[in-house]
Amino acid sequence: MKQTSLKRWFNSGAPGVWLSAGAVSIAVIMTIGLLAVIAVRGLGHFWPADVISAQYDVPGQESHVLVGELVQSEQVPRARLKAAGLPVPDRGPEFMTRDLFKVGNRDISPSDFNWVIGEWLKDPRKPAELMTLERREWGNFYGYLVNVKEDGKVVAQGEAAWPQLQARIERVQGISDQLDDLEKGEIGAINHGIERLRLRARKLELNGELDAAAQADMATERAEYDARYKDVESRLGALHAEYNRDSLTARDANGKEIEISIGKVVHAYQP
């Protein structure tokens, strides 16, 4: 009786249904797991890491300050580092730490990333006044805020500079939105109208209907588009002047100062 019931159950197709359901469940779980791994590992690249300031002492060389984001660490055989020409002592642990730092400041430094030896980093700190600027050009800037300027004149420095910087970045973002609206909206509409006018003229020409009256009508329309464009161009010029009005003076880890237009700054934050 039991054997008959089992045979009937197999013949009903129920095992296939359960196997299919199990396979689908496993596939869904694997897909979700894969997406989770991609999200965890991928989104980390877009999340700002802590910015570290440390003294970098290479044996036999002058010490200097290193500022940047720690991106990656790995253990490397001492012999390999020595073979690469680094002044590594013969005696010591078999492996040494090699760290990859994002040092940014591409407009004043030759490289955006630097490999350093972890054992040569001394006194790593996270100074509260150390700032990161996310810029539209030249990548991130790491350093210290000196002052904020308006039309070349200092309007804030010291502790008062940071809130001024944040307020002016927000102001620039608003102007940037207005510029986008003009360039993609009104100018786009004008260009579209001029192109339609050109195509209409070409159609009339091919049909032999481009007479003096049609040309006069299209010339009038083109003059209207030109007048609208000059008006928008004037507004764009005024907005660009406002966009480039403010700037900041920043100092890198080794004391070099640089002036940066706030219009090029997307975001500024401190640890």
Residue 75 pLDDT: 94
User: Domains in the chain: how many in total?
Assistant: 3
Answer yes or no: do 23 and 92 share one domain: no
The CA distances from residue 177 to 163, 181, 239, in Å, are 22, 6, 11
Answer yes or no: do 254 and 169 share one domain: yes
For residue 270, give the nearest of 67, 118, 110 by alpha carbon. Answer: 67
Report if residue 136 sits inside a domain. no
Answer yes or no: do 39 and 74 share one domain: no
Residue 179 pLDDT: 92
Which of 96, 126, 156 is the endpoint of a domain?
A: 126
Report if residue 262 sits inside a domain. yes
- Note the pLDDT tens digit of each residue in 148-182: 999 999 999 999 999 999 999 999 999 999 999 99
- Note the pLDDT tens digit of each residue in 226-252: 999 999 999 999 999 999 999 999 999
Which of 26, 43, 60 is the endpoint of a domain?
A: 43
Answer yes or no: do 173 and 259 share one domain: yes
Average pLDDT over residues 29-40: 88
The boundaries of the domain holding residue 76 are: 51-126
Residue 45 pLDDT: 66
Answer yes or no: do 167 and 95 share one domain: no
Answer yes or no: do 218 and 122 share one domain: no
Rg (CA), the chain: 32
Helix 212-243 crosses helix 161-181 at what angle (to 10 degrees)? 170
- How far does CA 256 lie from the centroid of its chain? 24
Answer yes or no: do 27 and 65 share one domain: no
Average pLDDT, the chain: 89
Answer yes or no: do 32 and 74 share one domain: no
- Note the pLDDT tens digit of each residue in 140-156: 999 999 999 999 999 99
Answer yes or no: do 227 and 157 share one domain: yes
